[in-house]
């Protein structure tokens, strides 16, 4: 199975957070092709820098190590992802989440998230 991880899903999975659903945990630990958007990494580093997210310092090498350890590929932001944003309804105002939605649509990847607002978009969700 191929899937795109929402930022919180990635963070919960690498930290063993109990909020991660059983299905998400099984997919995360199974032999699947998982992707994390570069936008998710960007979001994490911003939150670390402003003190909203405690991670080991320096956070960049820690995240790279976790990506490798968990066999997660980084999905770059492409022009077609950005252009898709123009056609999205404005149910979700968070720019990081909007690019994830666009990437999910353009790459035809289901998105693993607990965010109920994503249900308003034409994407396959897993939780």
pLDDT tens, residue by residue, 98-114: 999 999 999 999 999 99
pTM, entire model = 0.93
- DSSP secondary structure of 13-69: HHHT-TTS-HHHHHHHHSS-EEEEEHHHHHHHHHHHHTTSS--PSSHHHHHHHHHHH
Q: What is the pLDDT of residue 56?
A: 83
Q: What is the pLDDT of residue 122?
A: 95
CATH number of 2-126: 3.40.50.1010
User: Is residue 91 over pLDDT 90?
Assistant: no
Strand partners, 71: none
């Amino acid at each position: 199975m191929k899937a795109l991880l929402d930022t919180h899903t990635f963070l919960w999975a690498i930290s063993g957070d109990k909020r991660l659903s059983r299905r998400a945990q099984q997919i995360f630990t199974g032999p699947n092709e998982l992707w994390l958007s570069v936008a998710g990494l960007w979001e994490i580093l911003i939150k670390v820098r402003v003190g909203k997210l405690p991670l080991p310092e320096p956070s960049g090498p820690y995240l790279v190590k976790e990506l490798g350890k968990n066999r997660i590929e980084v999905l770059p932001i492409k022009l077609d992802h950005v252009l898709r944003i123009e056609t999205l309804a404005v149910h979700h105002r968070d720019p990081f989440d909007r690019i994830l939605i666009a990437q999910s649509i353009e790459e035809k990847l289901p998105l693993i998230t607990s965010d109920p607002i994503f249900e308003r978009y034409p994407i396959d969700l897993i939780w």
